[in-house]
Chains A and B, each alone.
Chain A
Amino acid sequence: MSELENKTEHGSVDGATEGAAEDPKNDTGLGLGVIFFIVAFLICFLSGWLLFPKLLYSKHEQPFNFDHALHVQETGDCESCHFLRDDGTFSGIPKMASCLDCHTDEPMGETRDEAIFASEYVAKEREVPWYVYAKQPDCVFFSHAAHIEAAGMDCVTCHGHIGESTTSRPYEENRLTGYSRDIWGKNIWGIKKNSWDRMKMDDCAVCHKEETGHQGYCFQCHK
């Protein structure tokens, strides 16, 4: 019988073999596939949750530790250092000139951080290159005056209880965007429990919708 006749009469020889393999009673291939599926699933799932955030963010320590709680206690409030200028712009992180209102190149305390500040920055007349946790990108216009003065909001609503911290946590920078992790939030899914957990555009829009009845227009912030 020719090969062609064989195929015509019985179909493909390979096909007959494959049919035997698909017999559920003899399905070893499927079992291995399930194992592979589970292994790959677990590796990728765990990597996505545990390894991915570590790879996505780089960590930087601040130049030296800063005790917010102590400074609030000494100065009385946030506005002594983080103030609105006369023209309504926000001073942000204080410049050295503000620090020198109280400090000199002689350490005021006995901590190692105070010594670093005095010797490396005050004495050398250098600005402290702080990492700014809440820094918004350049394409965003944000007026502190409108929120603090006009809307009467307090610092905690957006910045949390940083004023009560005694140490500076590491600054985490998104390797892709260059943004601080505080913008997306600590939770890698972006889930937040408190108003200060995230500082994304959607968070602005939600609050604006609640407070003003409208989420706002693009050009209000993206000028």
Chain B
Amino acid sequence: MKVDRRSFLGLGLGAVAGIAISPVGAKLTDDSSIWTQNWPWTPVPPDGKISYDHSVCSLCPGTCGITVRKIDGRPVKIEGRDTYPVNNGGACLHGIAGLQYLYDPCRVTTPLKKINDRFEPISWKEAIALAAGHLGRIRKNDQAHTLACITDTDQGSVAGLFSHFMTAFGSPNHFVMPTLESWLALTAQTLHGKGYTLGFDLENADFILSFGAGILEGWGSPVACFKANSSRKQRKAKLYQIEHRLSTTAAAADRWIPVTPGTEADLAMAMCGVLLTENLFDSEFAAGFKGGFNRFNAMVQQKYPVEKVAAATGISAADIKKIAIAFARAKMPVAIPGKGRGDGAQSLKEFAAVHTLNCLTGNVNKKGGTFIKPVHDYLAFPDPVLDTAAKDGFGKAKLGASVQEMVTNINQSADPLVTALFVYNANPCYTLNDPSQTRAAFEKIPFVVSFSSFMDETAMASDLILPVSTFLERLEDVPSRAGLANSVVGLTRPVLDPVFDTRSAGDTVIQLAKTLGGDMARSFAWNNYRACLEDVAAGVWEDLSGNGYALLAEGPPTDSVETSFAFLSDNPQTIYPQGDYALTLVPIDNMRLPGTVPAASPFAIKTVSDRVLKGKDVCVEINPDTANGLTDGGFATLTTPTGSARVRVNFNEGIMPGVIGMVKGLGHTFDNKYVAGKGVNIHELISPVIEPGSGLDAACGTTAAISKA
């Protein structure tokens, strides 16, 4: 017998026939199709008992109520909390992505001490002892006033604890980062006296005149603003958006009024002039005017005639008058200040001029109007025990009116003005204009302590990091603080144990004071932060711990307030974009990119359009009429008096000719492959300009040139 090809044919056919009538084919076909639908490497979260925890999101000043869905105690989803008086069930993209911050690659997972420009992990005990040792020596040397502190807000018990610490320690140098809340409080303080802030009843107003406020870009409490805008059409309320570019808000508005950047304050002043000339101001409310009303009237007529302002703003005189008259004749008009998100560099003159429009219409402390509200006073801290060092130090002059002024003073002084610095929940080395100045000032400070959850630019510039638990891991009271009509304080509650070795900043401050001993320890008698919160917020604790929030004030305030025109009557200087270049660079606030702390989550940054961020390049908006020699999508070099950057060009007919728009929130330099190393930090291209009268940076733009790269 001979083995030939027929033998092999028989072998093959036999094998095929054998397999064909075995289950192999059918089973493997079925299994293969299942395998392709359930890739084994795709993680599947474990099943378990579902529960929901109510808390408050404190990622931004919006302070939305949230409901965290948990499976067997593990948080898996964040949703807006129904019936919460701020957001009523809504949530923004940052809130719903909040869980990503728990596991962010930039989280500081344990206390860190900088040794030879490298961070080394240390224990909490060592970290507190290290900080207390430095601070003890400062007090011992009668230098208590050289401790400075920067916090993101002065509201709430944690900011209150830092303030309490600074007072007990003996330093007046507690600074707050510029936010919409701080600008509104400063405006109210300037026009109506200390202890007030402003809120806007956008949900009921029938005419919103927005001076660049990004109602749909994160201004105020974003979700509350979205909801107010959504209901606007049904209410037949009008929105006029005065802005240099066709932003999302401008696109949704009834009318977009392009304005030359930097001239918004002049425009508001001219509109005040129209109301006064046309006798369209509310005489009843005007009875409460004091301090220079007549002088203000005369100054406005003289310095801000409509024709002159028309030339500066690029809006015709007829339009200025028409808009002012339409605003004044509306039943419930509200003018809102604060370009973009309303934080960072703004102008007190602009805020005051815009709010004066509200005052002149008389739609103040009425439904659908502007609320001049008392600042929340639900916290009752005991008086700190002051020893001699504290009394001496606290009596010294403050190092400026703002963080920016402090930075400038530190850099200009040959003496060490600040020997130790606390930074809580703020990133001044990134968010302040020309942050190289801030970094230089930080280098002059011998001991910088960062209370941060993430290794951001400021944490990197510090000497000691005392890591803070994220908003999902800590207890904290969170007062509403972003131009809302109602005054609400919510309770951020831990929905899980800290993922890493982190603590609430409140606990750290109390522990630090106790370690310092003496009168410092006596000023911080609480065992921990929870005990402190229950004590200082005793008046609202029942509501806070029960409902998760306490409604401090609802509806129009009943206080009668006086209005002073002294500040505006002096015609404070308008801060225009600085420099000699022909074009103007202005920052753009984008809802998808946070500009402050924390930086964007990986989810959020993936939602940014490639007309804003293409790959790792930022795209700047420019009107095709201005783009001489540039190509859409091509590379260009953007130059300002402060620096230059390589950017991509995005032709946009919705931006005024002569203006270049660049988004905020990019150009981070920390180690996070999802968020950092993308685009350019616009603040690196703008130098601060301190506004006379406020002491705050008012450089919301700069002149610039752009050429093909």
Q: How far is the CA of A30 from the CA of B3 in the complex (A)?
A: 10
B311 CB contacts on chain A under 8 angstroms: none
A130 at the interface (CB under 8 A from B): no
A160 at the interface (CB under 8 A from B): no
Q: Are A49 and B31 within 8 A (Cβ)?
A: no
Q: How far is the CA of A136 from the CA of B269 in the complex (A)?
A: 68
Binds B, one of A3-11, A35-43, A208-216: A35-43
- Say which residue of B38, B44, B72 sits within 8 Å of A177 (CB atoms): B38
Q: Are A36 and B35 within 8 A (Cβ)?
A: no
B251 at the interface (CB under 8 A from A): no
Q: Are A89 and B1 within 8 A (Cβ)?
A: no
- Mark B14-44 against chain A: 1 for CB-CB distance below 8 A, else 0: 1111110111101110111011011010001
Q: Are A34 and B18 within 8 A (Cβ)?
A: no
A100 at the interface (CB under 8 A from B): no
- Mark A25-59 against chain B: 1 for CB-CB distance below 8 A, else 0: 00011111111111111111111110011001000
A190 CB contacts on chain B under 8 angstroms: 23, 26-27
Size range of the chain A interface in the assembly: 35 or more
Q: Are B23 and A137 within 8 A (Cβ)?
A: no
A139 at the interface (CB under 8 A from B): yes
Q: Given the known inter-chain contacts A29-B7, A137-B38, please indicate yes or no for A44 contacting B2, CB distance below 8 A.
A: no
A23 at the interface (CB under 8 A from B): no
B236 at the interface (CB under 8 A from A): no
Interface residues of A in 72-112 (CB under 8 A from B): 85, 87, 89, 91-92, 95
Q: Are A177 and B11 within 8 A (Cβ)?
A: no
B10 CB contacts on chain A under 8 angstroms: 32-37, 40
- Say which residue of A29, A87, A188 sits within 8 Å of B23 (CB atoms): A188
Q: Given the known inter-chain contacts A48-B24, A178-B38, please indicate yes or no for A36 contacting B18, CB distance below 8 A.
A: no
B298 CB contacts on chain A under 8 angstroms: none
B47 CB contacts on chain A under 8 angstroms: 92
A188 CB contacts on chain B under 8 angstroms: 23, 27
Q: Are B18 and A52 within 8 A (Cβ)?
A: no
Q: Given the known inter-chain contacts A29-B6, A40-B11, A177-B34, please indicate yes or no for A52 contacting B40, CB distance below 8 A.
A: no
B195 at the interface (CB under 8 A from A): no
Q: Are B6 and A47 within 8 A (Cβ)?
A: no
Q: Given the known inter-chain contacts A32-B1, A48-B22, please indicate yes or no for A41 contacting B32, CB distance below 8 A.
A: no
Tell me whether chain B's interface is mostly helix, strand or loop, or mixed.
helix
A189 CB contacts on chain B under 8 angstroms: 23, 26
A179 at the interface (CB under 8 A from B): yes
A91 CB contacts on chain B under 8 angstroms: 49
Measured between C-beta atoms, what is the minimum distance from A178 to chain B in Å?
Answer: 5
B38 CB contacts on chain A under 8 angstroms: 137-139, 177-178
Q: Given the known inter-chain contacts A36-B7, A40-B15, A137-B38, please indicate yes or no for A174 contacting B26, CB distance below 8 A.
A: no
A176 at the interface (CB under 8 A from B): yes
A32 CB contacts on chain B under 8 angstroms: 1-4, 6-7, 10
Q: Are A30 and B14 within 8 A (Cβ)?
A: no
Measured between C-beta atoms, what is the minimum distance from A133 to chain B in Å?
Answer: 15
Q: Are B24 and A177 within 8 A (Cβ)?
A: no
B48 CB contacts on chain A under 8 angstroms: 95
B32 CB contacts on chain A under 8 angstroms: 176
> What residue in chain A is nearest B12 (Cβ atoms)?
A40
Q: Are A29 and B12 within 8 A (Cβ)?
A: no
> What residue in chain B is nearest A127 (Cβ atoms)?
B72
Q: Are A174 and B18 within 8 A (Cβ)?
A: no
Q: How far is the CA of A45 from the CA of B13 in the complex (A)?
A: 12
> What residue in chain A is nearest B25 (Cβ atoms)?
A48
Q: Given the known inter-chain contacts A41-B18, A45-B18, please indicate yes or no for A89 contacting B49, CB distance below 8 A.
A: yes
- Say which residue of A35, A36, A184 sits within 8 Å of B8 (CB atoms): A36
Most buried by A among B24, B31, B50: B24
Q: How far is the CA of A35 from the CA of B27 in the complex (A)?
A: 28
Q: How far is the CA of A146 from the CA of B49 in the complex (A)?
A: 18
B397 CB contacts on chain A under 8 angstroms: none
> What residue in chain B is nearest A187 (Cβ atoms)?
B23
Q: Are A30 and B6 within 8 A (Cβ)?
A: yes
Most buried by A among B27, B28, B72: B27
B3 CB contacts on chain A under 8 angstroms: 32
Q: Are A29 and B18 within 8 A (Cβ)?
A: no
- Mark A141-165 against chain B: 1 for CB-CB distance below 8 A, else 0: 0000000000000000000000000
Q: Are B35 and A44 within 8 A (Cβ)?
A: no
Chain A to chain B contacts (Cβ below 8 Å), 11 pairs: A28-B1, A35-B7, A36-B8, A37-B11, A40-B11, A45-B18, A45-B19, A56-B31, A85-B50, A138-B44, A184-B30
Question: Assuming A45-B18, A85-B49, A176-B31, what are 7 further A-B pairs, CB within 8 angstroms?
Answer: A32-B1, A35-B10, A39-B11, A39-B14, A41-B18, A48-B21, A139-B37
